[in-house]
Amino acid sequence: MIPRIKQLLQRELKKGLSDEELSLLPSSYQKIGDIVIVNLKKEVLKHEKEIGQILLENIPKTRVVCRRTGFIIGQTRKPQVKVIAGDKNTETIHKEHGISYKLDVSKIMFAKGNLTERKRLVNQVKDSEVIVDMFGGIGYFSVGFGTLKKTKKIYTIEINPTAYDYLWENIKLNKVEDKVIPILGDCKKEAVKLGRIADRIIMGLLPSPKEYLPAAMKIIKNKRIIHYHSTLGKNESYEKLLQEIKSIAKEQGFRVELLRWKKVKSYAPKVDHVVMDCEVHT
């Protein structure tokens, strides 16, 4: 079955596109706040404005349509997008399960595919936990943790000044200033300043946060949890990734026990985004 959005585009553009071009039109999109982001194949880029206008007029509560022009860039995880319809303001407020996230989609990535993982972690948190999010972004995980009565403190570290500014805004927007402590800087340096305080650590940097594991080991309490996000080839065993984690932990004088692992979402062709819940023994 052809997805509804592709059917719409094919119907509206059938007079101006070849059969091959019609077959290459997008079948999905991402909606962040009132902004739609779509991937276009190079063969249909010359029709980007028509495609954008159709999406703008047919997807409810849409103010701007953008297309991705490349991959997420560098340590600051900057997206590459271009406005193809609507106004030029790429700042929006995205609402998800009662939490509001303010961001600029041209400057800040927002992974809607992590929604299930955010819900899963919230359900795992125990009373009076101190949580450290080593790659805080705009507060994807930490703001949600901050709304829980049972959490004690959440320290969230972010190296990108733009993301950090939005992190601060989202902390205030969701009224969690008493729980969530934002820290600007490189988590390799900033995390270790906290001391051994963490009951739970989120390491959500792709394709791999392994170079930051030594810093995490310096702040985790005994028998507490690190949620380690990484990438894994579809034909690769999770054991390979686990051994990598165990090897780094051993070098730091720690032992790691895998509690569970799961696929979060697809990351690239034949590559998955996975998360491993590891209990650290100091």
In a domain, 72, yes or no: yes
Residue of 16, 19, 56 lying closest to 35 (CA atoms): 56
Specify the CATH number for the domain of residue 55. Answer: 3.30.300.110
**Residue pair 197/131 in contact by the 8 Å Cβ criterion:** no
> From the CB of residue 109, how many other CB atoms can be counted at a distance below 10 Å?
18
* pLDDT tens sequence across 9-59: 999 999 889 999 999 999 999 999 999 999 999 999 999 999 999 999 999
In a domain, 173, yes or no: yes
* pLDDT tens sequence across 159-216: 999 999 999 999 999 999 999 999 999 999 999 999 999 999 999 998 899 999 999 9
Same domain, 133 and 83: no
The DSSP code for 17 is S
Same domain, 120 and 75: no
Domain count, the chain: 2
Same domain, 180 and 252: yes
**What are the strands of the beta sheet with 30-32, ordered from one edge?**
30-32, 35-38, 64-68, 81-86
Only one residue has tokens 């703001």, namely: 143
Between CA 261 and CA 4 the distance in angstroms is 34
Residue of 196, 194, 211, 214 lying closest to 256 (CA atoms): 214
ω into 214 cis (within 30 of 0): no
Identify the domain containing residue 50 by its residue range.
4-89
In a domain, 119, yes or no: yes
In a domain, 23, yes or no: yes
Strand pairing report for 255-268 and 198-203: unpaired
**Residue pair 234/270 in contact by the 8 Å Cβ criterion:** yes
In a domain, 211, yes or no: yes
Predicted TM-score (pTM) of the model is 0.88
Only one residue has tokens 């059938």, namely: 14
* pLDDT tens sequence across 79-138: 889 999 999 999 999 998 889 999 999 999 887 667 778 888 888 899 999 999 999 999
Residue 163 three-state SS: helix
**Residue pair 42/97 in contact by the 8 Å Cβ criterion:** no
